[in-house]
Amino acid sequence: MTDNFSRRDFLKLASVGAATTAILTGCGPASRYVTREPYTKMPEYTYNGQSTYYATTCRECAAGCGLVVRTMQGRAIKVEGNKNHPVNLGKTCVRGQATLHGLYNPDRVQDPAKQAKRGSRDFSSMDWDAATAVVADALKNTDPAGVAFLMGMAPDHLFDLVSDLAKAIGAPAPIRFGALGMFEARATLGKAVESLFGQAAMPFFDMGKSDLVFSFGANFLETWLSPVAFTRGFANMRRGGGHGRGTLVHFEPRMSQTASKADLWIPITPGTEGLVALAIGRIAAEARGGSLPTAFADVDVEAIAKASGVSAEKLDELGKLFASANAALAIPGGAALAHSNGLETAEAVLALNALVGGLGRAGGVFLAPLAPMQTEFSRPANMAEMADFVEKLKSGKVKTLFIHGVNPVFELPKSLGFEDALKSVQTVISFATFPDETAMQADYVFPDHHGLESWGYQRVAAGSSQSALSGAQPVVSPYYNTRATADVLLAAAASAGGVLAQALPFKDEVEFIQSKIVALVSESDGYFNAPEINTFTAYFQQYGGWWKTVDELSTPSGDALGKTIKVGEAKFAGEGEFYFHPFVSPVLGEAGANKPWLQEIPDPTTTAMWSSWVEIHPKTAEELGVDNDDVVRIVSEAGTVEAVVYKYPAIRLDTIAMPFGQGHTAYGRYAEGRGSNPADLFGEQVNGAGDLAFAGMRIKVEKTGKKYPLSRLESRMGVYGEALGEEH
């Protein structure tokens, strides 16, 4: 890397192999290797009437979709999908589209600041030198064992840097967490794969080539793992890739958005998904003939029919359907795994695939490839690990806590007491871009750039059959006085000197990223090849990452059907007459509440906007004496929340559902004080993989007598026939 390598050279490079993507440029306005040019030669991003498009990576969740952002005169105008990106092939989800409302959010943290007293919101701005000094001081003068890093699920490059940093100073490895990971039950999936196939990996579900999908609680069209990729898979399945129109059967106590697209929705008793999978397995095995596999040998279909509320005839029908499909696929996920028996449920569902020869078969289950430069399967912390971490905080062993990319005060179960635990930590430094709840409990907020102003990369964990590393670059110059956390840490490391400076000898974030991706220069089968790292970096930015052009799916091995799968009875914490079924808002996700346009996007199933609600079946509501727009109090063993009633006709009569995403007490004007947070109700029960059993709860519903008009797009008159005249 030389200093005179200009952005114009980048452009020349970019134009060489970029016939189809001529609009993409390799280098953004925040490019740091800019040489001075005459005034008449304006940078391309300031030409009047000309748009410039930059490839980058979406940060609204950790799936790592490739984006191409249209900019004009230095302003980001529109998010579009990166057509070449293997995860999303040019598509985006609703949250990705609205990411610009995060970038230009009026409530971003604008300067590094120190808070006079935690929670006081009395911030005094400081300059970045002072901020860097604070970080350097914390890294240098804290006992390494007392330094802790809590990271979000994105971005990966920062996680790598922090991991290196922690290793260098001998601090514990950073912990990663995200509410989406919790709701996805990622740890359970990984553990189930490990126990069935002997290898910890992310399963890859080849939905597009399947002709029958049994989904046990996996909300793959909403937020689960990689929704854009799964939506494409679903569409391909429906279009019928060679098998005719594919069929989707969804098992979930509530009709979610995913369930609403199912040809058959089975409103199953919560916690019996694994049992039903076993019953289907047994019936399917019988239908296919041959000897009964061990996994399904001891299954009592009648008892399962009774427990699950799915009739024996229905189970029989489903089992035979599954057995007769050309390419059947069973997917475990979401709330189905969030029970005390969740791990076994995951195993039972995965075993179904083994039964019909779906392991390694087109339209079946594979093991997802590791991302480039990744040596082993990694996953975010499960709830058991988070509980340990909170204990550690409480014990006072952690002196300095760095938090980036995650909002644990909001996302963790309130009963875990994270907010309380922070009190035992001497110094809390948040790198939050937005003034979220956790930042409000920090001593310092050193705001990171928004994702669209940032460099970085993200490993693709689940959405692609190709091994992919999604690249991020700034599409606009930073709007506020923010600084990349990586740069802050590198500068702090440099000023701290010693082992730190030795371990992280990088001038800036880009140099660090190059130091990582340099390993890919010599890789074969890449989407592009380059002789050396600078050219490679230019392409990496221009194309929005690097990925293999060939599938690297591996076939699960091991005798998945050879061992008995014992799905026990799900344990429900708390008492009360209703099951509780929390789900992630498909529109807001875990962190969308501060984006005004996302608030105004109607929820797909309820069309509710700008608030949260509880879904109660109309008959149940009648029994409870509550109506639409009544505020009810939900009481669990761990807490209470109040929310507005939505009489939802497609939910079990004994189940109450509530979306996660609202209920912020900070996080900017559009999020704060809006709706309520079901995480306040969560207990600490975990499943066999340590994931939170958030669906394993029983709750009570109490009337409050209050009313709150829930904004809906739909007409209650037209859709539910309220207040219409009678036939006469």
Partner 1 sequence: MTTELKIPEFSANFAESGQQGKWGMAIDMDICTGCQACVAACAMENNVPFVGEADSGYGRSMHWIRTERFWEGEFPEIKMTPYQPMLCQQCGHAPCEPVCPAFATVHSQSEALNLQVYNRCVGTRYCANNCPYQVRSFNWRDFERPEPLPNQFNPDVTVRRRGVMEKCTFCIQRIHRAEDQAKSEGREIADGEFTTACAQACPADAIVFGRIDDPESAVSKLARGSRGFHMLEELGTLPSVTYLKAG
Partner 2 sequence: MTSTEKHHDHAQDHVAHLREQHLMLDPLPRGQMNDMVMESMHTTSWKFWVVFGILSVIVAVFLFGAWGYMIANGLGVAGVNRPSYWGIFLVNTVFWIGISHAGTFISAILRVFKAEFRRPFTRAAELMTTFGLVQAGFSIFMHMGRVWLSYWLMPIPNQRGLWPNFHSPLSWDLLAITTYLLSSTMYLFLPLIPDLAMARDRTPDGTWQKTFYRVLALGFRGTEGEWTHLRNAMNIFAFAIIPVMFSVHTIVSWDFAAATRPGWNSTIFGPYFVVGALHSGMGAVAMVLAVVQSRMKHMKYFIRGEHFEALGMLMLLVSMAWAYFFFNDYMVQWYGGDKWTQQLLHFHEGGPLGWMWFAMLVFNVVIPWATLWNKKWRSNPWLLFGVGLLINVGMWFERYIIIPISLTINRMPFTWRMYTPGVEVFLGIGTVAFFILLYMGASRLIPLIPVWEVQEGQMAHSLKTYGRETVVTVSELE
Q: Which residues contact 718 (CB under 8 A, 6 or more apart)?
A: none
Judged by CB under 8 A, which of 18, 63, 93, 469 binds partner 1?
A: 93
Closest distance between partner 1 and the C-beta of residue 509, in Å? 24
Question: Is 239 an interacting residue with respect to partner 1 (CB under 8 A)?
Answer: yes
Judged by CB under 8 A, which of 24, 30, 67, 79 binds partner 1?
A: 79
Judged by CB under 8 A, which of 14, 55, 76, 225 binds partner 1?
A: 76
C-alpha dist (Å) from residue 407 to 410, 421, 438, 591:
6, 14, 5, 9
Instruction: Give the whole-angstrom CA distance, residue 115 versus residue 155.
Output: 26
Closest distance between partner 1 and the C-beta of residue 106, in Å? 4
Question: Is 77 an interacting residue with respect to partner 1 (CB under 8 A)?
Answer: yes
Instruction: Give the whole-angstrom CA distance, residue 298 versus residue 663.
Output: 45
Closest distance between partner 1 and the C-beta of residue 323, in Å? 23
Closest distance between partner 1 and the C-beta of residue 633, in Å? 21
257, interface contact from partner 2, partner 1, none, CB < 5-8 Å by kind = partner 1
Direct distance between the N- and C-terminal alpha carbons of the chain, in angstroms, rounded to an integer:
83
Closest distance between partner 2 and the C-beta of residue 332, in Å? 35
Closest distance between partner 1 and the C-beta of residue 611, in Å? 7
Closest distance between partner 1 and the C-beta of residue 8, in Å? 25
Question: Is 710 an interacting residue with respect to partner 1 (CB under 8 A)?
Answer: yes
Angle in degrees, 0-180, between the axes of helices 186-197 and 342-355, rounded to the nearest 10: 50
Q: Which residues contact 252 (CB under 8 A, 6 or more apart)?
A: 216, 217, 219, 258, 259, 265, 266, 267, 268, 334, 335, 336
DSSP 36: P
Stretch binding partner 1 (CB under 8 A), from 103-111, 117-125, 153-161, 347-355:
103-111
Closest distance between partner 1 and the C-beta of residue 113, in Å? 19
C-alpha dist (Å) from residue 605 to 12, 257, 491, 659:
49, 6, 48, 11
Question: Is 537 an interacting residue with respect to partner 1 (CB under 8 A)?
Answer: no
Instruction: Give the whole-angstrom CA distance, residue 40 versus residue 430.
Output: 42
- Edge-first strand order for the sheet with 247-251 is 264-266, 247-251, 212-216, 328-332
19, interface contact from partner 1, partner 2, none, CB < 5-8 Å by kind = none
Residue number with CB closer to partner 1 (144 or 309): 309
Binding to partner 1 (CB under 8 A): which residues in 164-223?
221-222
Stretch binding partner 1 (CB under 8 A), from 187-195, 381-389, 564-572, 609-617:
609-617
Helices and strands in the chain: count of H runs, count of E runs: 24, 28
**Which single residue is written with the structure tokens 């029919």?**
305
Question: Is 238 an interacting residue with respect to partner 1 (CB under 8 A)?
Answer: yes
For residue 189, give the nearest of 198, 199, 202, 180 by alpha carbon: 202
Phi, psi of 364 (to 5 degrees): -125, -150
Radius of gyration of the chain (CA): 26
Stretch binding partner 1 (CB under 8 A), from 136-144, 210-218, 685-693, 705-713:
705-713
Count of other CB atoms within 10 angstroms of residue 423: 13
Question: Is 650 an interacting residue with respect to partner 1 (CB under 8 A)?
Answer: yes
Name beta bridge partners: 633.
642, 702
Cβ–Cβ under 8 Å, residues 615 and 254: yes
Binding site for partner 2 (CB under 8 A): 713-715, 717-719, 723-728
Binding to partner 1 (CB under 8 A): which residues in 107-166?
none
Question: Is 267 an interacting residue with respect to partner 1 (CB under 8 A)?
Answer: yes
Question: Is 719 an interacting residue with respect to partner 1 (CB under 8 A)?
Answer: yes
Judged by CB under 8 A, which of 64, 81, 478, 544 binds partner 1?
A: 81
Instruction: Give the whole-angstrom CA distance, residue 155 versus residue 405.
Output: 8
3-class SS of residue 665: coil
Instruction: Give the whole-angstrom CA distance, residue 476 versus residue 486.
Output: 18
728, interface contact from partner 2, partner 1, none, CB < 5-8 Å by kind = partner 2
The pair of three-digit structure tokens given for residue 10, joined into one six-digit string: 């980048």
Residue number with CB closer to partner 2 (625 or 718): 718
Closest distance between partner 2 and the C-beta of residue 599, in Å? 18
Closest distance between partner 2 and the C-beta of residue 152, in Å? 38
Residue number with CB closer to partner 1 (216 or 444): 216
Judged by CB under 8 A, which of 308, 611, 612, 687 binds partner 1?
A: 611
Judged by CB under 8 A, which of 177, 224, 234, 431 binds partner 1?
A: 234
717, interface contact from partner 1, partner 2, none, CB < 5-8 Å by kind = partner 2
Amino acid identity of residue 413, one-letter, is P
